[in-house]
Amino acid sequence: MSDNALKDELTKLKEQVAELQSARTQPPSPPDLQEQDAVSEDPALTGAANLDLDNASSEDPEEKDAEEQIRDFVNALDQEIKSTNPMTVLVVFSLGVLIGRLLPR
């Protein structure tokens, strides 16, 4: 990958960061709030977080403990995703793309 291609990619990434910063300073419109709520209510995370352990009376205590740990992990992961700054995610992703392109094939 040439220097010019890297410069072009960095320029594109800077433009994306500028767009995100400008979008972040503007108040969200009502459709954006609805989309955000839809994303935060991911059925896979919600379903895994709401495991029904009452119906597992025939299971041994170790299985119940494992399911409780899984539920705690999913809840913690859900909270972490909700509290993560989108700018941080974009920067980490961009660095991953840049490093991936710099690695020899």
At residue 79, does pLDDT exceed 80? Answer: yes
Query: For residue 68, what is the DSSP state?
Result: H
Phi-psi region of 104 (alpha: psi -120 to 50; beta: other; left: phi over 0): beta
Q: What is the pLDDT of residues 4-41, one digit of tens each?
A: 888 888 888 899 888 888 877 776 566 555 555 555 55
Q: What is the pTM of this model?
A: 0.31
Torsion of CA 28, 30, 35, 38, to 10 degrees: 120
- The per-residue pLDDT for 42 is 57
Q: Could you state, in order of their start, the residue ranges of all structural domains in the chain?
A: 40-105
- The per-residue pLDDT for 99 is 94
